[in-house]
Amino acid sequence: MPAERVVRGVRKVGATTLAILQRLGFATRFFAAVVWHSPQAFRRLQLTLREIYFAGVLSLVIILVSGMFVGMVLALQGYDVLNRYGANDSLGILVALSLVRELGPVVAGLLFASRAGSAITAEIGLMKATDQLAAMEMMAVDPLARVVAPRFWGGIVSMPLLAALFSTLGVFGAWLVGVKLIGLDNGAFWGNMQAAVDFREDIVNGFIKSVVFGVIVSLIAVFEGYDAKPTAEGVSSATTRTVVESALTILAADFVLTVFMFRGVGV
Amino acid sequence: MKTAPSPAAATFDTRCANAVELSGVTFGYDRRTILKGIDMTIPRGKVVAIMGGSGCGKTTILRLIGGSLRPRSGRIVVAGQSVPQLDRDGLYALRRRIGMLFQFGALFTDLTVFENVAFPMREHTDLPDEAIRDLVLMKLNAVGLRGAAQLKPAELSGGMGRRVALARAVALDPMLVMYDEPFAGLDPISLGVVGQLIRRMNDALGITSIVVTHDVYESLKIVDHLYFVSEGRIVAGGTPDEVRASSDPFVRQFLDGAPDGPVPFHYAARPLEQEFVRAR
């Protein structure tokens, strides 16, 4: 019966939409609850510092090494193009602007999601699966305040710092390739970069992006962990969801933010 | 948020002789009914076992008493307070006086044994570090694990983990301790040790204990009263001696471990003939 199939199809779309809306609603309430419980994360600063260590310090290796390689590749590719127009001296500008405006926040965000976000989700999910969160609640300790809020803020604090380090190492990598390997002029490399990179337009905007991505990754990571099914498959699929959702949300948010920050042609 | 534990926190509301009272408690998820009218009294100072097969709603009873779940109907009174009517602060205040040992311990895997036991003290008291240290080592000594204070939960055997969880459950000198399957997966020696500890802690600290378990022989050795739960109802109960002498078919099946009886061997299915004999 075709009519029956249509009805079933419509019903399925409706059910899926409702499920998505319900989850979004739950995520929003969860976000509000985490913010509500955040004062404790600051009052007991050592809890948040510990999470900054786990999310931030332990992500340093992957962020620094990736930043360096991205900068080196950018220098090689950029030199190849710029050389055709005799604009070698602009290599520093190209690399610095790409990193500070886009690649720093975005790539650091993606790496942060896969290194720290997944770890946060897995940890909270496993704590749930092994009844640690329930035990905490039975001890009259709110897991949102004790477990979730410190991880949330630890991620938000770590992310902009990691993005800044990513960009810094990227510029350093580009300098190694451009100046030390290819032999561009050292003064032109730095001088042009300094002249072209604007603090408000470039650095602050990049910083804003990295903060937003930090909030996105941290929120998705703690939410997916807290919402994970308390089983092995549940935790593993929650971890996967954290990485996929973070990546998609970062890229979409990057586009939206860039549209708002876009000032037309010309630097 | 922090408050020093008042001396009264460890004692009962003297007006009530029963630590826990349940009357006509029903509970279910959506269309599935799990508890169909539970009446139960847990007198203070006693060790009471709630027994039944897996999935019969035993753990649900504990979660109702602890306020993690709300009943559909019925009364749940703990130390004179009606649990379903408590707001969040009231519930948290009550929970500070209740210890709970989860199945498999639920120790915090990122903390040492010492920090696990210290956790409730650090969260709820302003005691100085030296006082917490002494208290934690005393609690650990009581369960025989003072020497394991600096180990991580992953380095403990199942029985040791259960004992640490027990020390943590009594860290704030509660009035009531609930044990969810404390014997599950333990070797006979650890099982005996944990059983004796439950009894000793109960008597030494003057607390009340509820033990949810399906280990009937260990329970008979240590408890004052047993309730048998099946399909959401209390089907039998009594003191260990009464239970041993019982001729109730459910209790007999439970004690003898018979595969078939009031608890059927087969999961509900359509009749065998219909399954295999096809209509021609």
CB contact under 8 A, A140 and B93: yes
Q: Is residue A41 part of a domain?
A: yes
A44 and A141 Cβ atoms separated by less than 8 Å: no
Cα(B73)–Cα(A138) distance, integer angstroms: 22
| B233 vs A: CB within 8 A | no
Q: Is residue A267 part of a domain?
A: no
B119 Cβ contact list (under 8 Å, min separation 6): A139, A141, B108, B111, B168, B171
Q: What percent of chain B has pLDDT over 90?
A: 30
| B174 vs A: CB within 8 A | no
| B2 vs A: CB within 8 A | no
The count of structural domains within chain A is 1
Q: Return the pLDDT at B132.
A: 93
Domain residues for the domain of A218 are: 37-261
Is the confidence at residue B1, as pLDDT, over 80? no
Is the confidence at residue B13, as pLDDT, over 90? no
| B124 vs A: CB within 8 A | yes
Mean pLDDT along residues B87-96:
90
Is the confidence at residue B8, as pLDDT, over 50? no
pLDDT band at B15 (very low <50, low <70, confident <90, very high): low
Contact residues, chain B, for A138 at CB < 8 Å: 66, 68, 95, 98, 100, 102
Q: What percent of chain A has pLDDT over 70?
A: 98
Q: Tens digit of pLDDT for each residue in A43-70?
A: 889 999 999 999 999 999 999 999 999 9
Is the confidence at residue A265, as pLDDT, over 70? no
- ipTM of the complex model: 0.81
Q: Return the pLDDT at B12.
A: 46
A242 and A144 Cβ atoms separated by less than 8 Å: no
- Out of A40, A132, A142, the one facing B108 most closely (by C-beta) is A132
Q: Return the pLDDT at B81.
A: 87
Q: Is residue A220 part of a domain?
A: yes
A39-44 long-range Cβ contacts below 8 angstroms, 24+ apart: A40/A145, A40/A146, A40/A149, A40/B1, A41/A145, A41/A149, A41/A150, A41/A152, A41/A153, A42/A153, A44/A150
Q: Tens digit of pLDDT for each residue in B203-239?
A: 988 899 999 988 888 888 899 999 988 888 888 888 8
- Whole-angstrom distance between the N-terminal and C-terminal Cα of chain A? 62
Q: Return the pLDDT at B234.
A: 86
Q: Return the pLDDT at B188.
A: 85
B239 and B224 Cβ atoms separated by less than 8 Å: yes
Cα(B196)–Cα(B170) distance, integer angstroms: 15
For A123, A134, A246, B118, B135, the CA distances from A127, given in Å and listed in that order, are 6, 9, 21, 18, 26
pLDDT band at B279 (very low <50, low <70, confident <90, very high): low
Is the confidence at residue B9, as pLDDT, over 50? no
Mean pLDDT score of chain B, rounded to an integer? 85
| For A44, nearest residue in chain B (alpha carbons) | B123
Mean pLDDT along residues A228-238:
94
Mean pLDDT along residues A209-213:
96
A174 torsion bin: left (phi>0), alpha (psi -120 to 50), beta (else): alpha
Q: What are phi and psi of B25, to 5 degrees?
A: -80, 125
Cα(A96)–Cα(A202) distance, integer angstroms: 9
For A181, A185, A190, B142, the CA distances from A145, given in Å and listed in that order, are 51, 54, 46, 31
CB contact under 8 A, B102 and A131: yes
Q: Is residue A108 part of a domain?
A: yes
Radius of gyration of chain A (CA): 22
Is the confidence at residue B3, as pLDDT, over 70? no
- Out of A135, A140, A141, the one facing B102 most closely (by C-beta) is A135
Q: Is residue A47 part of a domain?
A: yes
Contact residues, chain B, for A119 at CB < 8 Å: none
Q: Is residue A161 part of a domain?
A: yes
| B98 vs A: CB within 8 A | yes
Q: Return the pLDDT at A248.
A: 97
Distance from CA of A135 to the nearest CA of B (A): 7
Is the confidence at residue A97, as pLDDT, over 80? yes
Name the residue with higher pLDDT: B246 or A16: A16
| B198 vs A: CB within 8 A | no
| For A141, nearest residue in chain B (alpha carbons) | B123
- Out of B66, B103, B110, the one facing A138 most closely (by C-beta) is B66
Cα(A182)–Cα(A214) distance, integer angstroms: 36
Q: Which of A105-119, A156-170, B43-57, B169-183 has the lowest average pLDDT? A: B43-57
Q: Return the pLDDT at B193.
A: 87
- Out of B96, B104, B108, the one facing A140 most closely (by C-beta) is B96
Is the confidence at residue A266, as pLDDT, over 50? no
Distance from CA of A2 to the nearest CA of B (A): 32
Mean pLDDT along residues A123-136:
93
Domains and CATH numbers, chain B: 17-256 (3.40.50.300)
B63 and B75 Cβ atoms separated by less than 8 Å: no
Q: Tens digit of pLDDT for each residue in B255-277?
A: 887 777 777 777 778 888 888 87
Is the confidence at residue A104, as pLDDT, over 90? yes
Q: Is residue A255 part of a domain?
A: yes
Neighbours of A105 (CB within 10 A): 33
Among A4, A244, A30, smallest CA distance to A117 is for: A244
A168 Cβ contact list (under 8 Å, min separation 6): A67
Mean pLDDT along residues A93-110:
95
| For B93, nearest residue in chain A (alpha carbons) | A140
Distance from CA of B172 to the nearest CA of A (A): 10
Q: Tens digit of pLDDT for each residue in B40-73?
A: 999 989 999 998 877 778 888 998 999 988 899 9
Radius of gyration of chain B (CA): 20
Q: Return the pLDDT at A1.
A: 65
Q: Is residue A16 part of a domain?
A: no
Q: If contacts are CB pairs under 8 Å, which of residues 3-62 in chain B contact chain A?
A: none
Contact residues, chain B, for A40 at CB < 8 Å: 1
